[in-house]
């Protein structure tokens, strides 16, 4: 799944909760795959950057003459191929962080879904308790009315 699709699916309404519960594992897995993909890409780009930088430094050393490491590092930093590789590495690092935050967001989404389900269960339990108590109360009134009808003139002791 693409990043945009994963981001779009993060939010949901309460009416969508049953479908959201069913889709959460698949989306979490997709977010995990995205994170791993970006981690591997960053590692690949970092290795390429190190190789390009090392090759450039080696060429400078092979030219001969006395050069300090600081001089070689400065010369390598301004080479176009090193600048390009650095830009690609920076972009890969940003996408890797995005992947980490996306996965964290899906962890939070899962926690939110769990909390909502628990809250709905608690609400349902309270509603059932209220209905039961109301039923018993109404049933008690009906029993009192029947007893009073069967035994007229008998008042409750107060």
Q: What is the mean pLDDT of the chain?
A: 89
pLDDT on residue 143: 66
DSSP states of 108-153 as a string?
Answer: HHHHHHHHHHHHHHHHHHHHHHHHHHHHHHHHHHHHHHHHHHHSTT
Q: Write out the two tokens for 135.
A: 């039923």
pLDDT on residue 140: 67
Please give the C-alpha separations between residue 65 and each of 2, 20, 53, 123, in angstroms, as whole numbers.
52, 67, 20, 80
Is residue 92 within 8 A of residue 49, CB to CB? The reply is: no
Is residue 49 within 8 A of residue 89, CB to CB? The reply is: yes
Q: Write out the two tokens for 13.
A: 């309404």
Tell me how far apart the alpha carbons of residues 154 and 158 are, in angstroms, rounded to a whole number: 12
pLDDT on residue 2: 85
Tell me how far apart the alpha carbons of residues 63 and 16 are, in angstroms, rounded to a whole number: 67
pLDDT on residue 154: 64
Tokens 């609400």 -> residue? 123
Residue ranges of domains in the chain: 3-113
Enter the pTM of the model: 0.71
pLDDT in tens, the chain (158 residues): 788 999 999 999 989 999 999 999 999 999 999 999 999 999 999 999 999 999 999 998 888 888 888 999 999 999 999 999 999 999 999 999 999 999 999 999 999 999 999 999 898 888 888 877 777 777 767 766 777 787 777 665 54
Tell me how far apart the alpha carbons of residues 42 and 92 are, in angstroms, rounded to a whole number: 5
Torsion angle, alpha carbons of 111, 112, 116, 122, to 10: 50
Nearest CA among 24, 22, 1 for reference residue 11: 24
């Amino acid at each position: 799944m693409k990043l945009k699709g994963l981001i779009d699916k993060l939010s949901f309404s309460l009416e969508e909760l049953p479908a959201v519960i069913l889709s959460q594992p698949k989306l979490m897995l997709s977010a995990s795959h995205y994170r791993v993909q970006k981690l591997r890409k960053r590692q690949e780009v970092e290795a390429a950057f190190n190789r390009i930088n090392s090759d450039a430094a080696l060429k400078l050393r092979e030219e001969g003459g006395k050069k300090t490491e600081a001089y070689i590092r400065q010369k390598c930093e301004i080479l176009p191929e090193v600048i390009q590789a650095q830009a690609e590495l920076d972009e890969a690092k940003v996408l890797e962080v995005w992947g980490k935050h996306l996965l964290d967001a899906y962890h939070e989404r899962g926690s939110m879904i769990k909390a909502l389900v628990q809250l709905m269960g608690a609400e349902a339990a309270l509603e059932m308790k209220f209905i039961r108590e109301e039923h018993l109360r109404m049933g008690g009134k009906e029993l009192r009315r029947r007893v009073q009808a069967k035994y007229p003139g008998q008042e409750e002791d107060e």
